[in-house]
A = this chain, B = another copy of it.
């Protein structure tokens, strides 16, 4: 569903505090814009079919890849292509905008207690 209401990122981030649970805040062209709050270490995973963009809105995020680590700060983004294993780590709480196809599962190929099958729309 595409709505034509503007979205204020700060207002949306104020609506939730749970970690590692992406919330949908926009949809276009089969893609979803999500917001997520992160702290700690996620699991290694990849997405078989989906490229994924991480844009840091607040704090800092380390995207671990198998051969290196990309350190993202506010106003920086990284696109992780499909098939590439990655593990996000945030020492302190970080707020991140995700852009990815609607089909994307947050834990990719690895089902765990952190898997969010139906992300909430806020």
- List chain A positions with a Cβ less than 8 A from chain B: 2-10, 26-31, 33, 50-53, 65, 70-72, 75-81, 84, 99-101
B contact residues around A80 at 8 Å (CB): 4
Select one of B6, B52, B75, B78 contacting A77, CB under 8 A.
B6
List the number of copies, as a whole number.
Answer: 2
Main secondary structure of the interface of A (DSSP, over half): strand
Could you list 13 examples of A-B contacts with CB < 8 Å?
A3-B79, A4-B84, A5-B78, A8-B75, A9-B76, A27-B79, A28-B51, A28-B99, A29-B31, A29-B51, A29-B100, A33-B99, A99-B99
B contact residues around A77 at 8 Å (CB): 6-7, 9, 26, 33
